[in-house]
Chain A
């Protein structure tokens, strides 16, 4: 990790703390709501449709129940903004973390530079893939 107090050091802490909150929200949305339950969602939902419509759709076509839940989240502007933020925090923090490990362990200047470029390019490609998946999703169900 870069030296204590530097801006990269601070940013790793800030993104880490923000990830703690966004990861918690992500688990609630994509593992609890998308999975077994819906508790609390009618009050804080802000999904693409209301919960009654969603439930009716799920009952009329159980095969698609999970997809409807996904669409309810993924098509809603609030959760698009949330996911773009979450993906950005995760790719930045994760790939910067890998770079920090490389800086600590790879002592040869040339190899370190090569490895860091590979990590940088992978990070940017992954970030773009994630953003595209989130923004382009438009199921037109509701």
Chain B
């Protein structure tokens, strides 16, 4: 099913981003259960989110999520419609372009915002 060259890199990236998002989900739920214990706890956690390391991580995460979400929708479309199956090559490139463009715009806003 994935023998087509254009899909190979996307296939690998889909797994890498999937695993990375799960890793983030573990951190996120753990941190959320601390945050929901009241205003002091909430503000303490928010403070740690403002460090450069965290903000860089968030930007990276945005890229991973955008790719996984768009590529996932492309996979679903290709599996259920004959049209998308035929347009495989075009849709793979479209996924890269759309994810890349949205990433640049999103990253710019995130980096510009005050933590």
**Contact of B73 with A20 in the complex, beta carbons under 8 Å:** yes
Task: Annotate B33-45 by CB proximity to A: 1 below 8 A, 0 otherwise.
Answer: 1011011001100
Q: Which of A36, A94, A122, A132 has the most CB of B within 10 A?
A: A94
Partner of A87, one of B15, B29, B72: B29
For the complex, give the distance between the alpha carbons of A60 and B35 in Å: 22
Asked if B79 is an interface residue, CB under 8 A from chain A, the answer is: yes
- Tell me which residues from 1 to 52 in chain A have a Cβ below 8 Å from any Cβ of chain B: 4, 13, 16-17, 19-20, 23, 35-36
Which residue from chain B places its CB closest to the CB of A104 in the assembled complex?
B15
Q: Which of B15, B18, B22, B30 has the most CB of A within 10 A?
A: B22
Main SS at interface, chain B? helix
Given A67-B42, A134-B36, is A101 in contact with B19 using a C-beta cutoff of 8 Å?
Answer: yes
- Tell me which residues from 1 to 49 in chain B have a Cβ below 8 Å from any Cβ of chain A: 1, 15, 18-19, 21-22, 25-26, 29-30, 32-33, 35-36, 38-39, 42-43, 46
Which residue from chain B places its CB closest to the CB of A134 in the assembled complex?
B36
Residues of A contacting B25 in the complex (Cβ-Cβ under 8 angstroms): 90-91, 94, 126
Interface residues of chain A, those whose CB is within 8 Å of chain B, are 4, 13, 16-17, 19-20, 23, 35-36, 63-64, 66-67, 70, 74, 87, 90-91, 94-95, 97-98, 101, 122, 126, 129-130, 132-134, 136-137, 139
